[in-house]
Every structure is written in structure tokens, then in C-alpha cells.
Amino acid sequence: MGNFIADEKLENLRKYKYSGVDKSILSKYVLNPFWTWFVTLWPTWIAPNTITALGLGLVVFNLSTLFYYDPQYLTERDGATGPPKWVYFTWGLGLFWYQAFDAIDGYVDCVICEGVVAEGASGMLSKQARRTGMAGPLGQMFDHGCDSLNTTFECILSCRALNVGRSWWTVAAEIAALANFYLSTWEEFHTGTLYLGIFNGPVEGIILLCVMYTVTGIYGTSFWDKKFLAITHLDRLIARYYPELLYHIGNPGLNDAFFIFGAVQATFNIVLSYRNVYRARKAQKKYVLSPIGRFLPFLITTGFHVAWLSGSGPLSGKPHQAYILRSDLFLPFLLFWGFEFAHQVGRMILAHVTHQKFPYWDWSWVLVSVAAIDANAGFLFGSQPLIQRSPKACAIFMGVSIAYSLGAYARFCTLVIQDITNFLGIACFTVRKRDPVTGDWITSQELDSKRA
């Protein structure tokens, strides 16, 4: 088999059962009835993974429009004309339909709604995986892989729509978004259950972004620079009763308030996630503090990425210039970060479904650590960088880094898909299974009828 699943762990693929908790009111009463109807429009010869890939393709198309209209990732404040307003409507529509496509692929064997175990709860019995008989761990891997990529893609798009562009706000948003996803995967690894709270990223978070894109399409990106307290008239109320408070909090823009809300929500998720892990570990009579150590890979890689980003690079004579952040390389850097992150959480998800050891180490750390040290050579050693000595050298190195991270992730996906499909006898993008007797690839329905 491949390099990522030990032979003795392959049998665990047959034992895998999905478990999830979704307490979202919006999902239960609004979106899920829509998804249950929407899946009936798809013929049963279309594989669930194909639907998921098509959904991600919509987001990739949205990202391509950003590269076409604003490859430098500037804001109107920086003199950029930016994408036309109609583009933001397509970003909102693309994200909405990505959510719908992602929801109806339905790789679910068992769902727990509000603590009650029920087969096919929340209408999951009607989702495409159940309709085609293709539910299983491969779909779990593929679905999470697409979601991990979409996390970075939407961070890039949303920060452009909020008119922050090349700024530390965008970096903070990327860290918060990736941390939320890592935390959710980390939680599932330790509890065996994917928890979605009353307000969660895959449901309310996506709808909130869709609304934000729509508002940007109507009023433009400069709308988000307006002062939050002035728009809400809270400045008058505070000035009347707590005038000293205005001095301390200032008057943040709407985009600032958007990010502050995201930070509060991320903090809330951290607390809830650890509470769930704590309860699960205690019920299993295992150490409750050891899972915290498994958050270190994310913290370490994030530290390396921020250090590389904040380095002066070819401007080593001017410390703390954050060369990449203020150059055309910022957008490629975010993509590099996103591909590395997808690889990182992909290995964690694989360890979960195959019951392998937690993947602490990844060779990608070598690349990003070397890049971070080299970019900060002026500050650390008082010398010029060895690799990133000039803007041209930085651009070449960034291109090589993206190619490596994308290639490493593509290799991981290819090998894992091959291992799972070969062992379970299922296809990835078609509704076919391998007949264990003849070895022929036939439709799922034909194989089930033979077994009956």
C-alpha cells in the first residue's frame, strides 16, 4: 500500500462509522429541508465525491476572478480599482452553492442530533451517499480535504471584500480560520464525533459570509471602512453615559468589528472544544491534558509562517519590514500556507479514520522554518539572506514553495485515495464497486443485488 496507511491499519477502514452533533437551528429548520429537496435533483449515477469536487470548483472559479481583477491583492485605499461590484455577488453565490453541494454529498452513517443517536437524523438518509450506497471513510477524507482548502480560499476572498487586503488583519483572519478548522478536526480525533454548535462555521459562518459578499456587491468595499459605532449610533449612547469609554475603545470600522466578532467566536469554540475533549477523555479514563500537546503542530507551523511573513527578506537593512506582506507575493504566500495546512489536517483526519498515531511531524516544517530563518537573517545574524536576497529571488523561492506544498498535498491525496479505493473496492468519482468474486467494476446497485 501507500506511505500513509500502515497495512495493519487498513482493516480499520471497514469499522469506521461517522458520528456528528449538529445543534444549529438554521441548519435544522431552514437549510436541511432545502438540502433534502436539492439532493433529489441529482441522478444516482453521480458520485458524492464528484458533487463535492464540483462545489469546490465554484470556489476556485471565484478565486480565479480575484486573480484576474486584482492579482496584487490591493485595496481601494491603496489605489486599486479592484473587482467590479458584480463579482462579489458571484462570490456569495459560489459559496452558498458550495455549502449546498458539500451538504448533500452526505457521507454519513450515523448522526447525533442534540445528543440523541438516530440513524439518518436531519434528513441524512436522503443524501447522495446513502442514495448511491457509497457512504464511507473515503467520503469523509475527501469532504474534509475540500473544506480545508476552502477555509483558506474564503479567507482570501472575504478579506478582499472587507477591504483589508495586504494587512495584518488578513493574517489574523487566516490564523483564526485555520485554528477553527484545526480545532474541529483535533476535537473529532479525540472524541470520535464532529460537533457543530448553535453557531458554527460550516453553517452560520458561511451564511454570514454570503451576506457580507452581498452587502459588498451593493455598496462596495469602502462600506466596511465606515465606523461601527457611528453606523449603529452607539457612539452617541456611549458619549452620553460612558464618555471615557470612547477614549479607550476608539471607533473601529465595520471590518474591524467583523474580525473582532470572529475572534470572540473562535475563543468560544476553543473553550467548547476542549470541554468536549475533556469529557470524552474522562469517560475513556485517559489523560485529559495530553490532547493539548497535539495542538502544538498547528502553533509551531503558524509561528514559522508568521515569522517568514514578518521577515525583511531582501530589505534586511531595514528590520521588521514584513516584505512579503507588502509585496505582490502576499497572495501566493496565503495559498502556500493553505496547501500546507490542508496537508496537515488531512493527515490528522486520516489518522482518525484509520486509528493511527497522531501525526506530529511533517517534512514541510523544514521548508517553512528555513524560509523564516532566511527572511529574518538581517535581524538574527546581521547579514543578507542566503536565499531571498532580492525581490526576484523571493519570487522564485515563493513559486518553488507553492509548487512543493501543492505537489506534496496532491501526492498525499492521490496515494490515500488509491489505498482506500483498492482496499474497500470502491471508486472515488464514479458510483462503482469492485465485485470481490470476479474483480469487475460494477455499479453499487448491481453489487448489492448480487449480495442479496
What is the spatial distance between Cα 437 and Cα 330, in angstroms, rounded to a whole number?
Answer: 54
Count Cβ neighbours within 10 Å for each residue of 159-189 and write b for 16 or more, e otherwise: bbbbbbbbbebbbbbbbbbbbbbbbbbbbbb
Q: With helix as H, strand as E and coil as C, how does 23-74 read?
A: CCHHHHHHHHHHHHHHHHHCCCCECHHHHHHHHHHHHHHHHHHHHHHCCCCC
What is the spatial distance between Cα 280 and Cα 22, in angstroms, rounded to a whole number?
Answer: 17
Judge whether 346 and 148 are in contact, CB under 8 Å.
yes
Q: Is 355 marked active-site?
A: no
Which pairs from 390-395 meet CB under 8 Å and 24+ separation? 390/314, 391/314, 391/327, 393/314, 394/313, 394/314, 394/323, 394/324, 394/327, 394/329, 395/329
Catalytic residue among 144, 190, 343, 352: 144
* Cβ count near 260 (within 10 Å): 12
Q: How many CA atoms lie within 13 A of 342 on its CB side?
A: 29
Nearest to 409 by CA among 359, 354, 336, 356: 336
Within 55-188, strands assigned E span 111-113, 116-118
Distance separating the N- and C-terminal Cα atoms of the chain: 31
Give the residue numbers marked as catalytic: 144
